[in-house]
A and B are shown apart, each in its own frame.
Chain A
Amino acid sequence: MSVKTTTLPKKYHEAVLRWKDVFLPDYDFLIENWDKHFPNDQTFQLCAYREMGMCAEVECGDMKGKPKAKKASELPEESAHHLFGAIRAQASTEFGSIQQHRLTLARAQEEEEQFWILRMMAEELRHGYQMLHLLAEDDWSSVSKDSTSDVIDDILSMNTGSHVLGAFNIDFDSFVDNVVFCALIDRVGKYQLQMQKISAYQPMAESMPQMLREEAFHLAAGVVPMRRFATAAAKGETFVTMEVLQKTINKWLPRGLEMFGDERGGGTNVRLGLKPMKNAEAQRQYYREVEKLVRDLNLRYLRARLENLTHGESEAVLDRILAGETVEGVRREDLLHMPHADFFRRRGMPAFKMTGSQGETFTSAHDYLQHLVRVLPESYRASRDYKDYADALLAVEAGTMTLEQASSRMPALRRVAGACPCSKSVRWVQDEPAAVTASEATAQPVA
């Protein structure tokens, strides 16, 4: 196994450094304190890594067994088109998550966890850099009329509200968001990276292994603090309660599920050899993983609350409590519960179906919004993202908006002039729904 290290051409490299200065101002602080928090770990490098010696033949789809494309021009036009959208969307998510994490990074109560997130942000910057490298080193003119400079400018100009995927357009309200986002949304990222590891486009496949190695820690940077929160809650500490954890899971899981794309889609990517799984299959596997996480958190909570239990006993007691029994004062409502897969969805098959967090069905938007008051974080409900959802839901119920229009509707920050990431050149723009549908359908990486 050997890894090749490369950098972007100077002008793009410097553009990323300027972006970093604006959106990741703690970067230098991280590097200065690297050895304190990550002793003996290789120091962070802003570069692109390519793993050599990977499978050289297409691994699934119509072209299975044929040589993988080393250049975009060797791909069928349909593949190049899909791939270009996927790379652009992936880059957008990497930079987007940093913009979200920075909002609440300083609110961490534990320095260790804060540095985990800070390291994760630096690695997300590198992942974005890796995607820009794929765009910059190849010729995509057959599928994009924009120049490489314009495409990179566009990505670096995106801000929370204008990113390609919904999860990256939602503001963080507390450090709990940082942590739960890592555990749930980075987990979707892991799936995407794993699937893209077999890409028929060799540079994409070669980019994935190092990103996956880094992503493994990002998930731990979410899961370990969540386990600690659950333990502290069981012991009566009042900083992060199980209710707060539950509401934050409710906030992010629906967006994570939607990142896989419409449940009916994904076949094209499989046929083109770009990914090995359709959307619904990957989404199902993801949902099962999060179910395991939620059960683990409940076990951690239970063992901290009822310290005399052994592991085997705690499994049995957990099942009894989940079935409705109260055991030694621990009630079903004290524990975390997996949100229903159709809950609070605005894209895909369950979009605007008004399914409650535990699968309840609602027939009026008013009642559903009252349900959301009870199960979503208060600070999130005061956000623009949530208001847009509520407005769309009411419009669908009133018949003034179709489901398709509602699904594609979101307030977007758009670059209206200039490209400098530190300029004030982005503004809120509310598109006509149909206009958004077309552009997003093209950019959707998981369709």
Chain B
Amino acid sequence: MTETTPGVRIRPLDELDISDIVAIDEKISGRYRPEVWERQIGYYLRRDPESSVVAEIDGKVAGFMLGEVRSGEFGLEEPTGWIEVLGVDPAYRGKAIGRHLAEAILEHFRQRGAHSVRTLVDEEKQGDIRSFFTALGFEPSTMRPFVKTL
């Protein structure tokens, strides 16, 4: 675990974070979805608990970033870090929590042998998240998501 900005502590995700993450999601999305997060967090803990991190301020979870290293998908044979879910409690925005979370998760991806990290952002709806990743040095990839309505 690492101490970053004074008072912000980054540590691996654990099963007792479920309630706090449900609460952050509820503040951001307006939806109470405990079942979704119970399953989701169970998945990340099962895969590699150190690949997902939370930020604590005064012992309270203020943000989270979930991801993992995978290989063999989408023609990407080399181990690749994926940042898949993130959230910061609106009450704690402006404290560089997202950046601290990203630094910790990227360092873990490096230790796991990943040479690159990827994520997907909806440019129309998530302009702020695009800015966040751009500020971290992420660049648009030639790999494009395709979608078809069913």
Contacts and interface: CB of A to CB of B under 8 A. Distances in A.
Contacts, number: 61
A216 B15 contact: yes
Interface in A181-235: 212-213, 216-217, 219-224, 227-228, 231
A410 B42 CA distance: 37
Interface in B29-45: 32, 34, 38-39, 41-42, 45
Contacts of B16: 223, 289, 292-293, 296
A156 B110 CA distance: 40
Given A1-B111, A303-B32, A311-B26, A227 B46 contact: no
B14 interface: yes
Interface residues of B, number: 26
B149 to A, nearest CB: 25
Contact of A227 (B26, B34, B70): B34
Contacts of A38: 46
Per DSSP, are chain B's interface residues mostly helix, strand or loop, or mixed?
helix
Nearest to B46: A217
B18 A296 contact: yes
B34 A300 contact: yes
B9 to A, nearest CB: 15
B122 to A, nearest CB: 24
Contact of B112 (A1, A212, A300, A303): A1
A41 interface: yes
A224 B14 contact: no
B112 A227 contact: no
A187 B64 CA distance: 22
B50 interface: yes
29 contacts: A1-B112, A38-B46, A40-B70, A41-B47, A116-B42, A213-B50, A216-B14, A216-B15, A216-B45, A216-B49, A217-B42, A217-B46, A217-B49, A219-B15, A220-B42, A220-B45, A221-B42, A222-B15, A223-B15, A224-B18, A224-B39, A224-B42, A228-B38, A289-B16, A296-B16, A310-B26, A311-B22, A311-B23, A311-B26
Interface of A: 1, 38, 40-41, 116, 212-213, 216-217, 219-224, 227-228, 231, 289, 292-293, 296, 299-300, 303, 310-311
Given A216-B45, A296-B18, 17 more contacts: A1-B111, A41-B46, A41-B47, A216-B14, A216-B49, A217-B46, A219-B14, A219-B45, A220-B42, A221-B42, A223-B18, A224-B39, A227-B18, A293-B16, A296-B19, A300-B34, A310-B26
